[in-house]
Amino acid sequence: MAGGMSDNVILVGFMGAGKSSVGRLLARRLGRCFVETDDMITAKEGRPIPEIFTAKGEPHFRALEDEAVRLLALKRGDVIATGGGLPCQDGRVEALQALGTVVWLSGDLAALLERARRTGDRPMLDGKTREEIEALYKSREPYYAKADLSVDTTRLNPDQVAAEVWKALQARARPPQPRPPHPTLSPTGGEGSASR
């Protein structure tokens, strides 16, 4: 598979993109291990993400993400789901690309938010107006857009997204061969002689 030296597949995208469910399905399809940076952080801190935000604030959580990224350097051939804010700082997507192929699970913001609200607690959305969330999304989009591949998840279920990611990874691993040049015509209309 194309990508960084370590051959991981790294999923990025806004909250509600389906990184966890798609990552799990994709790992199964590829016969790889599945890792989530949020799980690494939860395990280290011994409490769920919303409690980390409440007790220690967002800067502390971001520092834990920095540490998680450093630990990802040990991973080989895994499927890795990242938290929605993890790739959104300068140099971070490039650091992830050094670990493997970065895949953006994109989607319409309305669809992402609908999913995010259905699945779990998101301290980054709590108490925010629609305008504030749109601004957050807009500030993050340029980072996600640096990914090697992207799949629009808006109208797809996790199985379908995993299948699309799988296809895109296969195509990237075996890029189409360039077509041979057209035979050159000689001044008399015959083929081939002008190339000599």
Q: Which residues bind ligand S3P (CB under 6 A)?
A: 15, 19, 38, 49, 83-85, 122-124
Q: Which residue is at the shortest CB distance from ligand S3P?
A: 83
List of residues 6+ apart from 169 with CB closer than 8 A? 1, 9, 30, 101, 103, 149
CA distance 78 to 53: 27
Q: C-beta of 180: minimal distance to ligand S3P in Å? A: 46
Instruction: Give me 118's structure tokens.
Output: 């259905």
Q: Which is nearer to ligand S3P, 117 or 174 (CB)?
A: 117
Q: Which is nearer to ligand S3P, 83 or 107 (CB)?
A: 83
Q: C-beta of 63: minimal distance to ligand S3P in Å? A: 13
Q: Which is nearer to ligand S3P, 19 or 32 (CB)?
A: 19
Phi, psi dihedrals of residue 7, rounded to the nearest 5° = 65, 25
CA distance 125 to 129: 8
Q: C-beta of 36: minimal distance to ligand S3P in Å? A: 8
Q: Which is nearer to ligand S3P, 49 or 162 (CB)?
A: 49
Q: C-beta of 5: minimal distance to ligand S3P in Å? A: 26
List of residues 6+ apart from 25 with CB closer than 8 A? 158, 159, 162
